[in-house]
Copies of this chain bind each other. A is one copy, B any other.
Amino acid sequence: MASQSSTQIRRALHLAQTGAALEPGSAGIVQLRTECSACNLRELCAPCCGLNQSERNVAKRLVFKRMRLRRGESLYRTGDHFTSIYAVRKGFFKSVLLLENGHRAQVIGFSMQGEVLGLDGIGAGQHNCNAIAVEESEICAIPFAGLQLLAHEIPSLQRHVRRMMSREIVREQGVMLLLGNMNAEERLAVFLLNLSRRYAAQGYSPSEFDVRMTRDEIGSYIGANLETVSRTFSKFQKDGLLRVRHKSIRILDGAGLEGVAGR
């Protein structure tokens, strides 16, 4: 069923890109047409950010397509033809890498509201992982070919794309450090502090938030199993660092948590 809905989404995207009509609301997917200049995320949105007014006018030519996805639905899958990068307008996604035998899988990243998804496809022309909604989410698809045409006229846009890619490289380097060098407590602490910082960047409280993903998904990301994640949450609570009530997290001692994270 996950595969089926993914197919529908891909079809929707294809239709959106070719400009063909789509039945609204089919399979719970709503597709909207918006101009960049009307996008209420344009302050956050990668390709618009940092443009001056005249550049924004040029950017109007780039028509974005919005879509909604429910928990478990795929935005794209490994091997899908790369056409767009995606700005997350609302919700949460996980990027899952599958081993060739398909037996093992690992979450290699989470993308939240205001962040960009799908850069891994630029090189090979096809996506290298599965992007799956962790909760009810809404994205804005940015056709990459159009983005490149624009970037040729707007150098700052070209720079912006490069900067996003470079940031992704640096982010992944940090995860490699986490996975290669840290124990379970340090990993979870780093994970929580990172989440906290990202919520803060979106204007939410850095000390009180929900983890939208399951213990299993967190564990997959930080290289531990779900029991270890759960135990470590409990230990942090016992030590007075957090208050954990299922998905709801309150950071009680940020400095203490940073101490555990080893900074």
Contact = CB atoms under 8 A, between A and B. Distances in A.
Contact of A165 (B101, B128, B166): B166
Nearest to A263: B100
A169 B118 CA distance: 11
Contacts of A108: 173, 176-177, 180
Q: How many copies does the complex hold?
A: 2
Given A100-B263, A119-B169, A173-B172, A179 B124 contact: no
B180 A123 contact: no
A175 interface: yes
Contact of A175 (B99, B128, B176): B176
Interface residues of A, number: 44
Nearest to A95: B173
Nearest to A144: B162
A61 interface: no
Interface of A: 97, 99-101, 103-104, 106, 108, 119-124, 128-129, 152, 155, 158, 161-170, 172-177, 179-181, 220-223, 262-263
A88 B170 CA distance: 21
B97 A162 contact: no
A117 to B, nearest CB: 12
Nearest to A151: B158
A165 B123 contact: yes
B263 A123 contact: no
